[in-house]
Amino acid sequence: MEQKQGSKFENFQKPSKQQRKNARIRITNLIGNFVFHNQNKENECTILDIGTGGLGIETKTLLYPGDKIIVKFWLEDTIFELPCIVSRVSGKNAGVIYDNVSEEIIVKIQNFIHKNIFHKKIK
């Protein structure tokens, strides 16, 4: 998979107003792909948001709640391959939750979120 340049990140709202259990940030221009569990065919997706509990993705491939997929994408010079379960689907958008992702990976994602929420210059 080729790393795409130009991804942008923004927090959904002020960290103090996050109501989700797991923090997340919106991402633009981050292209990834996924494969269904036990299959090899790669399907393109766009990562819409990333959090410590899962991802929001957009894809032309038909997904159903309960589908098991492995989502792959580059983030800050690291390629992530995250086993996920589709939790919700609305048109081309899907929410996926991580399935047995290591604590090390969750910490990397958490550090990325914190860096992009808390360390931005306030204008």
In this model, does residue 123 exceed pLDDT 70?
no
Of residues 4 and 100, the one with the higher pLDDT is: 100
Average pLDDT, the chain: 84
Q: State the pLDDT at residue 34.
A: 98
Beta strands in the chain (DSSP E): 8-11, 24-36, 43-51, 54-58, 68-75, 78-90, 93-98
User: pTM here?
Assistant: 0.77
Q: What is the CATH number of domain 8-13+20-118?
A: 2.40.10.220
Q: State the pLDDT at residue 115.
A: 85
Q: State the pLDDT at residue 21.
A: 60
